[in-house]
Amino acid sequence: MTTSSVSKGCFVFKPSAKKKKLSLTAADYFIESLKNAEDGRMRFENYQLLWQRMKSQTEQLQEELNKNLFDNLICFLKKSHSDFQDKKNDWNCRVRSSEIPTAALLLGVNVTDHELTFNSLSDVLNEHVTPYVVLLQAQECPGIRQLLQKLLSQLMECGADLDLDEEDDNAPVSQRKMNCSMASLSGWYQKIKKKANTPKKKRSDSSEHWPAPPIVVVFKDLESFTSSVLQEFIVISSGYCKELPLILVFGIATSPMIIHRLLSHSVSSLLCIELFQSLSCTEHLATVVDKLLLSNQFPLKLSGRVLQVLITIFLYHDFSVQNFIKGLQLSVVEHFNSQPLSILCCDRPDMRHRVKNLSHNQCENIRHLASFMSFVESQTPEAQVKLLTDDSYLKLYPSRVGLPLTCIRLRMSMEAYGEGRGGANIRKAVIETFYHNQSTLFTSVQEMTRKFLIDLHTYHENYIPVLRCLHHFTCILPKYPLGKQIRELYCACLEKKIWDTEEYNSALNLLRMLAGDELVATLHKCLEVLKPYSGRQLDSALKKLEEFLAHFQCLEGDNLENIDDEESSPQKGLQKKTDLYQLQKTLLEMKETRRTKKPSRFESLRLEVVDFLDGLVRDYLTCPEEHPLYEVVYFSAASILRKHLNAVPRIALHTALNNPSSYLKSLKNDGTLSSAAPDICIAYKLHLECGRLINLYDWLEAFATVANADDESDSDSLNQVDEMTHARFIRVVSELELLGFVKPTKQKTDHVARLTWGGC
């Protein structure tokens, strides 16, 4: 909009009415990223429901793991608070009157997890101990004044009415100047105590708080605090120990020795320190893996490579369990976003309905699965054609090809008659046809897809207990041939057939030499694992274990007699006096006796146990790839997960600068230099064409030619670089220098040296 006027003036233009831009939700972004959004909304809802269940499980685990630590800390706070009250009543007690109760929480090097721990601690203290909990960070407290100001401001948020300066009464409370001193804090606490002692109706939310509740100051990252700030705060606070029930909590990531490095002896002597050790991050991870991944309550599973990527990032980068859980959440999102058949990744009650409502496109997606094609190749040519062309045949398919036509007709008649008298007779005929003919034993007509998914659920139900039994046997072996943690064994079993590895054969050889007491104790552990599966497919294995334990109990009373009877005569001859020739002869006889010795009852029974375990492993610990439709419930895109969680900055920078269309969708990926690209991308591509030294003037001219290529001007004006283009070029060179691609050189003043990729 323009105006024409003789005189200069100010003109006001009302903005044109524009439609309000609707904000997109997470579901909209999820559906927009799908290639085929036929069931996008349902897949997003499945993801939300599944992750909500997993998230609630992780939060519950976090509470259970921190419960012991928080209970011990509350006991310490209670004891310290009672000591404070006793000291105030007994003025003759001067021994520890100036010491501040201090709890040193050793939380480990997983610093990213500390925030969640401190938030949980603050909630517990606010609920059961005191409403006055202050959380301090080093970056917010560079000096003692800022520390006291942060302390008092957080107490204001807790409901404390602190004394404020009267310089600016009209300013809001958050902007007024506070009287930042421990004296004002002590005076405020005395007022609060007097108000609490007056007869008044108690508040329901503070009914669990202690009388005269203490003030708990938590230093989240003790190592990052300045030594002088800490010492000054402790010295000032020690002078108010008689009037103010102050309790300090130090969050330590490295070692308790950091307290003595930051504080001098005279200052540390003012603290009454008690050390509290939290659960190690590796034990926390083991619990998360056990409850989330080695559990049948969630339908989604991770492949061996994906799980290995998450564990590798945990062990070699940050030791953060929260980052591991975020990686798990990313895996869930990627699975439901990239797998069109993820709508079938559900619990058993919802499975039948979803399989019944499969569309033609979803049936085509099933046919494109590699596991399904492997199953089709094993069928007859007639069945292959129907499986690949007929959707109804795909949903309703006999589990055995070659089912007699009579049986199919009987089944159809049974469904037509229902459960009445005629249906009962037909059902009897079906059973006789199916089971009394020993040559052809077939099952009823079932939904093939649903059958495969149910088989996967059954496979997982049997997989986890057998895996735990194998781990109980292998974790007691020397050098741990199959890993010390169950997650290592789980990854090995997912990637390949475990019984084909050298480590597995080595473990079996060691088990064949296992001592009797260790063998019986391990059998008892396996029995506890398999007890919940009584009456199911593993019921026979459970009964076999009970038989083994009964046999070992029978052998316990015969151990001493067997040892006395099996003592051979060559061994008795060693106790007599003999010469060298007789000794050599006796040793040779003992060697021959061992070769021809018949195994004892215990050794035979031990071999039976090992063979039984080997049979369980071969039957139930098969690879997931051997089961049709395993892609529906297994997320195996380890490369995508590694790209997001363990990105390489050099590759990301090169991709962004050399191919900006990968990040900016508005640009076309034609591989040529375009003026529409960002300035830094243009300069970066031009600098790739240069050698070790780059002439700045030539670089500027090339940059101006590309940047002004779309301008309609003659050739003479293109040769002259305007000020705006010059300024853009200077900024781009500074950015490339900051990123480390070029640097100034003393060889030539009008040149810069190239630092990366292909310099001569």
- CA–CA distances in Å: residue 423 to residues 54, 396, 415, 447: 45, 20, 7, 21
Instruction: Identify the burial level of 225 via C-beta atoms within 10 angstroms of its C-beta, where 0-12 means exposed, 13-18 middle and 19 or more buried.
Output: buried
C-beta of residue 284 within 8 angstroms of C-beta of residue 74: no
pLDDT band at residue 137, thresholds of 50, 70 and 90? very high
pLDDT of res. 404: 39
pLDDT of res. 619: 93
Collapsing DSSP states into helix, strand and coil, what is residue 758?
Answer: coil
User: DSSP secondary structure string, 459-519?
Assistant: HHHHHHHHHHHHHHHHTTSTT-TT-SSHHHHHHHHHHS-GGGSHHHHHHHHHHTT--HHHH
pLDDT of res. 406: 37
Q: Are strands 246-252 and 100-106 parallel, antiparallel or unpaired?
A: parallel
- Rounded CA-CA distance 491/692 in Å is 47
- CATH assignment of 649-754? 1.10.10
Beta bridge partners of 248: 102, 217
The structure tokens 């269940």 sit at 53
Mean pLDDT, rounded, for 328-350 = 92
User: DSSP secondary structure string, 382-451?
Assistant: HHHHHHHH-HHHHHEEESSTT--HHHHHHHHHHHHHTTSHHHHHHHHHHHHHHHS-SSS--PPEEEHHHH
Mean pLDDT, rounded, for 401-416 = 40
**pLDDT digit string, tens, across residues 540-577:** 999 999 999 999 988 875 653 454 444 444 455 555 55
667 CA to centre of own chain: 36
pLDDT of res. 180: 73
pLDDT band at residue 231, thresholds of 50, 70 and 90? very high
pLDDT over threshold 60, residue 647: yes
**pLDDT digit string, tens, across residues 174-229:** 434 456 788 888 888 888 777 766 654 444 444 466 677 889 999 999 999 999 99
- CA–CA distances in Å: residue 322 to residues 116, 319, 524, 584, 591: 9, 9, 35, 66, 59
For a pLDDT cut of 90, what percent of the chain falls above it? 46
pLDDT over threshold 80, residue 38: no
pLDDT band at residue 439, thresholds of 50, 70 and 90? very low
pLDDT of res. 384: 80
C-beta of residue 617 within 8 angstroms of C-beta of residue 284: no
pLDDT of res. 183: 86
pLDDT of res. 451: 86
**pLDDT digit string, tens, across residues 64-76:** 999 999 999 999 9
Mean pLDDT, rounded, for 259-266 = 93
Quick one: tokens of 354? 């979803």
C-beta of residue 680 within 8 angstroms of C-beta of residue 728: no
pLDDT of res. 94: 38
Quote the mean pLDDT of the chain: 80
Collapsing DSSP states into helix, strand and coil, what is residue 12?
Answer: coil
The residues near 528 (Cβ < 8 Å, ≥ 6 apart) are none
- Rounded CA-CA distance 154/148 in Å is 10
pLDDT of res. 501: 93
**pLDDT digit string, tens, across residues 268-305:** 999 999 999 998 999 999 999 999 999 989 999 999 99
- CA–CA distances in Å: residue 186 to residues 195, 245, 583, 750: 14, 9, 90, 67
Instruction: Identify the burial level of 504 via C-beta atoms within 10 angstroms of its C-beta, where 0-12 means exposed, 13-18 middle and 19 or more buried.
Output: buried
Residues in the chain: 760
pLDDT of res. 410: 38
pLDDT over threshold 60, residue 157: yes
pLDDT over threshold 90, residue 618: yes
C-beta of residue 759 within 8 angstroms of C-beta of residue 691: yes
pLDDT over threshold 70, residue 437: no
- CATH assignment of 51-165+176-193+209-279? 3.40.50.300
pLDDT of res. 302: 95
**Can you give the pTM of this predicted structure?**
0.77
Quick one: tokens of 417? 């008659």
pLDDT of res. 417: 42
pLDDT of res. 207: 46
pLDDT of res. 160: 47
Which has the closest alpha carbon to 507: 479, 541, 481? 481
Q: Give me the amino acid identity at 290.
A: D
Question: Regarding predicted confidence, which is higher, 619 or 241?
Answer: 619
Mean pLDDT, rounded, for 352-358 = 84
pLDDT band at residue 596, thresholds of 50, 70 and 90? low
Per domain, the residue ranges of the chain are 51-165+176-193+209-279, 281-395+449-562+598-647, 404-441, 649-754
Mean pLDDT, rounded, for 637-643 = 91
pLDDT of res. 307: 95
- Rounded CA-CA distance 36/38 in Å is 6
pLDDT over threshold 50, residue 264: yes
pLDDT of res. 481: 93
**pLDDT digit string, tens, across residues 458-517:** 999 999 999 999 999 999 999 999 999 999 999 999 999 999 999 999 999 999 999 889
